[in-house]
């Protein structure tokens, strides 16, 4: 193969296309609409190319690589390589990038200031390109460069509405935490590069150039570095601030793809780049995953800002992905290649699923926020009548993220359950026998709480009567914003009903990773989910779907036969009058859960009556949960850093003489060092 | 004979540096700098004859003319114009300063033996003197308050660097010499203007007051 048909040319072509469209868009910045079309259209085309490249790598199994630019004088070559793991993440990027770009065409025209929209479109394009480079880089220099470019573009996009103080704070928090994270990555990569004597991933990440305690230290550095980007608890605090602050289409991209770069890093480096994983590593990842999943969903339950709620669900889903990775690594460390393949496949499947349904939910939330002018779900309500299509797609997304059968969220969570059960049954190690059931129980709790949370989110937002003026006047989004949601909702269904198709590719991805050997029985036909060998039964979602449809039909027929008559009458209001004020609110809905988990939330509640004791004119209720991590982890940390800076200020005295004294002290001590050594 | 002359002049330069450290009158310090530069010129001339390197004569002329005459004259004129207090106000008193400089000289001399060219002979002394002067110049910069005295310290360091170039190598090419000379002139002019500005703003040359500029 050669020329345009050679997949090796597609990635440079996609990047060139992005660059060209960015240049064009910047040139047209005075005409916002044309500029948006240039940037987003170019991004769409480039994502198509990326998707095609990813697909060809997944289908043929042959890695594609090449050099993007080289500098002969310094011998520096910026090269890329797309193997199956990269291709999987690139596929996710392309699959979500195209609908989001299309949605942005409509959203950026109305949702934000028109003057600013070209820059958001350009920022989006830069971010897409940077993430693409992160997934495709095959050297430390290119990876870190793309990583930082991604961080900067993302921070700029978060700060789009920089007039709002909270937004500036969110962007700053994101930048600060990303800096620390990148510092960890730099340290880790430099240790590895020094040991391997090369900057190329093929040398650095093949086997383990370091061993013993240094290997553990490097693992922890990478875990911290990638964990911040992925939003793993307790490194997550930037995420619920930054996601809501960004424009909704950017939130969708951040949650769907950008935080997955952290997961990609954990896969590429922590799990498969540092030699065979130590048993402790898998346990640590499992613990991080379990904590992130449960706490993420618990905090999400208490949020009444729609986008913040979705942001906490991102943390939860990252937790689920890590549970899969942790199961895989634990299995790998005890040499169970087939079990590892199930965990890895579940994890990677969930990466795709989360991108699809969370992208969908954020796009829907963007439409809702644009239509109502508020992010607070207590001020919404009754939107199902006013925005029927958005409501339908949001419902599909909610069902998918809750892990309900027939949709994609169910498949990956089911696979993960199978991994835990399979591991429990087959592994004699006490550690696995203890940990896997616990992790499975946490996963089950998470799924149930997620379902509760989305009952709240969907019900309070879309059902009953509007509680605010914005909600009463809301209109359906334009088709250019609905079509991408329709596509993603359809993907939720397809990925849920035809898992075999995805599992076939995932088997290839898993097989390409060192130490992982997927069982041949993993894929049992197009429609089945089968975890592995043995007596574990496989599941065929279309059959389940058929059963559900039959059962529903049967129930319908029975109810018809029973002769129930449809009677239209006003809802009984206990003798009072029903209005939007008497609706079930989000606070009320989540209150029982707040009480059950009060040990975790540590809520403060305050009831205040205004007026006479027995005939109050007004009752005010306020409930807050304690921001545990912000207060007890980051509070002391911030204060410590500030106190240290205060002390260090003495050195930075602003006195010329002091600075000169530092110079002479340094010179004399260097001279004395020379003397002492020579 | 000329070897001895070189060593004598180098020692003289060191002595002028010590006198500058001990000196309280600003004008005398400037004249000492002029003397130091002339001694440097003599070292260059002596080396030009012993090593048969005639191009050193040119740099010697440049040194004597520029640093021995022009810069001292310019500095004194600047001080006259702004009409300030003509006394040096050090942070560290004179006896302690001299003791510290003694220590710096020991360090400089000791280090000079570590250099390839500084093992023995005249080069040993020249390099030892120049390293000591370099450290003393830095020390002067740290301990003097007035902007003019800091310019003097900087020029002393520059002389030291020139001397080390003479001692360790066979002297720099003329182009480099010219470049450095122009640098020195420009530096002195700029610093002169800066001193004017500082005095304008703060009604003093005391650079320690600059710390008030920080937030």
Helix (H) or strand (E) holding A620: strand A616-624
Whether residue A656 and residue B139 make contact (CB cut-off 8 A), yes or no, is no
Whether residue A656 and residue B210 make contact (CB cut-off 8 A), yes or no, is yes
CA-based nearest distance B195→chain A, Å: 14
Chain B partners of A675 at a C-beta cutoff of 8 Å? 107, 110-111, 114
CB atoms within 10 A of CB A178: 22
Whether residue A655 and residue B114 make contact (CB cut-off 8 A), yes or no, is no
Torsion, Cα B61 B63 B66 B67, to 10 degrees, reads: -150
A149 cis-preceded (ω within 30 degrees of 0): no
Q: Cα–Cα distance between A400 and A358 in angstroms, integer?
A: 9
Specify which residues A621 forms β-bridges with.
A607
pLDDT mean across residues, chain B: 80
Whether residue B138 and residue A656 make contact (CB cut-off 8 A), yes or no, is no
Specify which residues A71 forms β-bridges with.
A76
pLDDT at position A338: 83
Whether residue A664 and residue B207 make contact (CB cut-off 8 A), yes or no, is no
DSSP state of A75: T
B119, pLDDT greater than 60: no
Q: Report residue A588: phi and psi, to 5°.
A: -65, -40
Whether residue A655 and residue B110 make contact (CB cut-off 8 A), yes or no, is no
Could you tell me the pLDDT band of residue B215, with boundaries at 50, 70 and 90? low
B205, pLDDT greater than 60: yes
Average pLDDT, stretch B31-50? 89
Q: Cα–Cα distance between A539 and A500 in angstroms, integer?
A: 11
CA-based nearest distance A660→chain B, Å: 5
Chain A residue whose CA is closest to B106: A672
Cβ of residue B106 closer than 8 Å to a chain A Cβ: no
Specify which residues A200 forms β-bridges with.
A139
CB A408 within 8 A of CB A356: yes
Whether residue A660 and residue B135 make contact (CB cut-off 8 A), yes or no, is no
CA-based nearest distance A169→chain B, Å: 23
Domain limits of chain B?
Answer: 2-213
For residue A521, what are its two tokens? 């029985």
Whether residue B111 and residue A657 make contact (CB cut-off 8 A), yes or no, is no
For residues B166 and A360, which has the higher predicted lDDT (pLDDT)? A360
Q: Which of A201, A427, A436 is nearest to A335 (CA)?
A: A427
CA-based nearest distance B105→chain A, Å: 11
Domain limits of chain A?
Answer: 346-551, 587-624, 628-677
Cβ of residue B210 closer than 8 Å to a chain A Cβ: yes
Whether residue B111 and residue A655 make contact (CB cut-off 8 A), yes or no, is no
Residue of A653, A657, A671 lying closest to B111 (CB–CB): A671
What is the block-wise mean pLDDT of chain A (678 residues), using blocks of 10 residues? 67 91 89 89 93 91 84 80 93 94 88 78 94 92 94 94 90 93 94 88 81 90 94 91 91 94 93 87 93 93 91 94 93 85 92 95 93 88 90 95 88 88 80 87 93 92 86 88 94 89 88 84 67 59 81 86 76 78 83 86 84 80 83 89 88 76 84 75
Whether residue B111 and residue A675 make contact (CB cut-off 8 A), yes or no, is yes
Cβ of residue A651 closer than 8 Å to a chain B Cβ: no
Cβ of residue A615 closer than 8 Å to a chain B Cβ: no
pLDDT at position A1: 42
Chain A partners of B142 at a C-beta cutoff of 8 Å? 657, 660-661, 664
Q: Say how many CB pairs under 8 Å bridge A and B.
A: 47
CB atoms within 10 A of CB A79: 19
First to last CA, chain B: 59
Q: Which of B186, B184, B183, B205 is nearest to B195 (CA)?
A: B205
**What does the radius of gyration of chain A's CA atoms come to, in whole angstroms?**
27
Q: How far is CA A81 from CA A133, A380, A656, in A?
A: 10, 47, 52
Chain A partners of B210 at a C-beta cutoff of 8 Å? 654-656
Least confident of A592-601, B78-87, B177-186: B78-87
DSSP state of B105: H
Chain A partners of B91 at a C-beta cutoff of 8 Å? 657
CB B97 within 8 A of CB B21: yes
Whether residue B211 and residue A653 make contact (CB cut-off 8 A), yes or no, is yes
pLDDT at position A219: 93
Least confident of A420-429, B153-162, B194-203: B194-203
For residues A433 and B18, which has the higher predicted lDDT (pLDDT)? B18
Helix (H) or strand (E) holding A606: strand A604-611
Chain A residue whose CA is closest to B103: A668
Q: Cα–Cα distance between A663 and B141 in angstroms, integer?
A: 10
ipTM of the complex: 0.73
pLDDT at position A2: 47
Whether residue A668 and residue B141 make contact (CB cut-off 8 A), yes or no, is no
Whether residue A668 and residue B104 make contact (CB cut-off 8 A), yes or no, is yes
Cβ of residue B35 closer than 8 Å to a chain A Cβ: no
B189, pLDDT greater than 80: no
pLDDT at position A189: 93
DSSP state of A481: H
Cβ of residue B211 closer than 8 Å to a chain A Cβ: yes
Q: Cα–Cα distance between A374 and A386 in angstroms, integer?
A: 16
CB B76 within 8 A of CB B152: no
CA-based nearest distance A102→chain B, Å: 49
Q: Pairing state of beta strands A64-71 and A604-611?
A: unpaired
Chain A partners of B109 at a C-beta cutoff of 8 Å? none
Could you tell me the pLDDT band of residue B115, with boundaries at 50, 70 and 90? low
Q: Cα–Cα distance between A424 and A343 in angstroms, integer?
A: 13
Could you tell me the pLDDT band of residue B211, with boundaries at 50, 70 and 90? low
Cβ of residue A675 closer than 8 Å to a chain B Cβ: yes
Cβ of residue B114 closer than 8 Å to a chain A Cβ: yes
């Amino acid at each position: 193969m050669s020329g345009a048909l050679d997949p090796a040319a597609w990635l440079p072509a996609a990047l060139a296309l992005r660059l060209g469209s960015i240049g064009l868009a910047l040139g047209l910045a005075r005409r916002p609409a044309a500029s948006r079309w240039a940037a987003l259209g170019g991004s769409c085309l480039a994502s198509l190319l990326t998707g095609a490249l990813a697909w060809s790598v997944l289908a043929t199994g042959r890695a594609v690589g090449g050099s993007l630019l080289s500098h002969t004088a310094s011998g520096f070559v910026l090269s890329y390589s797309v193997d199956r793991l990269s291709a999987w993440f690139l596929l996710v990027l392309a699959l979500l990038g195209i609908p989001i770009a299309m949605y942005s065409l409509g959203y950026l025209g109305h949702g934000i200031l028109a003057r600013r929209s070209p820059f958001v479109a350009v920022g989006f394009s830069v971010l897409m390109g940077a993430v693409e480079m992160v997934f495709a880089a095959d050297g430390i220099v290119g990876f870190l460069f793309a990583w930082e470019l991604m961080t900067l573009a993302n921070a700029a996009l978060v700060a789009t509405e920089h007039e709002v103080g909270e937004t500036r704070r969110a962007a700053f928090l994101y930048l600060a935490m990303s800096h620390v994270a990148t510092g960890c990555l730099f340290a880790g990569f430099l240790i590895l590069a020094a040991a391997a004597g090369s900057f190329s991933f093929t040398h650095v990440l093949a086997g383990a150039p370091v061993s013993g305690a240094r290997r553990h230290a490097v693992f922890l550095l990478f875990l911290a570095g990638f964990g911040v980007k992925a939003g793993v608890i307790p490194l997550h605090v930037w995420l619920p601030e930054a996601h809501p602050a960004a424009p909704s289409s950017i939130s969708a991209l951040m949650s769907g793809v950008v935080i997955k770069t952290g997961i990609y890093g954990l896969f590429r480096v922590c799990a498969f780049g540092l030699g065979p994983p130590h048993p402790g590593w898998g346990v640590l990842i499992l613990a991080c995953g379990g904590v992130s999943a449960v706490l993420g969903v618990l905090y999400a339950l208490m949020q009444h800002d729609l986008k913040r709620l979705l942001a906490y669900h991102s943390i939860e889903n990252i937790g689920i992905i890590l549970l899969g990775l942790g199961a895989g690594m634990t299995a790998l460390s005890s040499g169970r290649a087939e079990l590892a393949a199930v965990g890895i496949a579940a994890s990677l499947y969930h990466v795709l699923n989360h991108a699809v349904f969370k992208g969908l939910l954020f796009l829907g939330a963007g439409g809702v926020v644009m239509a109502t002018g508020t992010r607070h779900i207590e001020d919404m309500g009754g939107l199902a009548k006013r925005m029927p299509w958005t409501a339908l797609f949001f419902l599909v997304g909610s069902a998918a993220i809750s892990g309900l059968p027939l949709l994609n969220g169910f498949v990956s969570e089911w696979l993960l359950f199978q991994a835990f059960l399979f591991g429990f049954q087959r592994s004699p190690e006490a550690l696995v026998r203890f940990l896997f059931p616990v992790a499975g129980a946490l996963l089950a709790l998470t799924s149930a709480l997620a379902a509760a949370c989305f009952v709240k989110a969907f019900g309070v937002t879309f059902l009953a009567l509007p509680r605010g003026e914005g909600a009463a006047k809301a209109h359906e989004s334009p088709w250019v914003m609905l079509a991408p949601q329709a596509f993603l909702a359809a993907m939720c269904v397809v990925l849920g009903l035809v898992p075999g198709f995805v599992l076939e590719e995932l088997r290839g991805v898993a097989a390409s990773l060192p130490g992982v050997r997927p069982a041949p029985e993993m894929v049992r036909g197009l429609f089945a989910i089968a975890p592995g060998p043995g007596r574990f039964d496989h599941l065929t979602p279309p059959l389940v779907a058929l059963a559900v449809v039959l059962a529903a039909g049967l129930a319908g027929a029975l109810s018809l036969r029973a002769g129930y008559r449809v009677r239209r009458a006003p809802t009984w209001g206990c003798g009072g009058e029903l209005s939007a004020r008497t609706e079930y609110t989000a606070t009320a809905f989540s209150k029982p859960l707040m009480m059950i988990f009060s040990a975790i939330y540590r809520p403060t509640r305050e009831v205040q009556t205004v007026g006479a004791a027995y005939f109050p004119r007004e009752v005010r209720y306020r409930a807050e949960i304690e921001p545990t991590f912000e207060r007890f982890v980051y509070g002391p940390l911030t204060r410590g850093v500030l106190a240290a800076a205060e002390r260090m200020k003495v050195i930075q005295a602003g006195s010329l003489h002091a600075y000169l004294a530092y110079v002479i002290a340094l010179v004399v001590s260097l001279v004395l060092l020379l003397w002492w050594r020579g | 004979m000329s070897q001895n002359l070189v060593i004598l002049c180098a020692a003289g330069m060191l002595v002028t540096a010590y006198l500058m450290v001990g000196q309280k009158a600003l004008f005398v310090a400037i004249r000492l700098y002029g003397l130091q530069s002339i001694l440097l010129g003599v070292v260059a001339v002596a080396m030009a004859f012993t090593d048969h390197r005639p191009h050193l004569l040119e740099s010697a002329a440049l040194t004597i003319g520029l640093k021995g005459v022009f810069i001292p004259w310019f500095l004194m004129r600047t001080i006259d114009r702004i009409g300030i207090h003509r006394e040096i106000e050090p942070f560290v008193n004179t006896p302690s300063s001299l003791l510290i400089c003694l220590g710096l000289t020991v360090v400089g001399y000791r280090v000079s033996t570590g250099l390839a060219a500084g093992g023995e002979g005249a080069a040993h002394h020249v390099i030892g003197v120049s390293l000591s002067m370099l450290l003393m110049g830095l020390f002067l910069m740290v301990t003097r308050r007035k902007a003019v005295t800091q310019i003097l310290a900087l020029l002393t360091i520059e002389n030291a660097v020139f001397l080390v170039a003479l001692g360790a190598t066979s002297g720099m090419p003329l182009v480099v010499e010219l470049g450095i000379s122009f640098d020195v002139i420009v530096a002195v002019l700029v610093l002169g203007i800066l001193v004017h500005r500082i005095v304008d703003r703060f009604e003093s040359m005391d650079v320690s007051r600059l710390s008030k500029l920080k937030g």
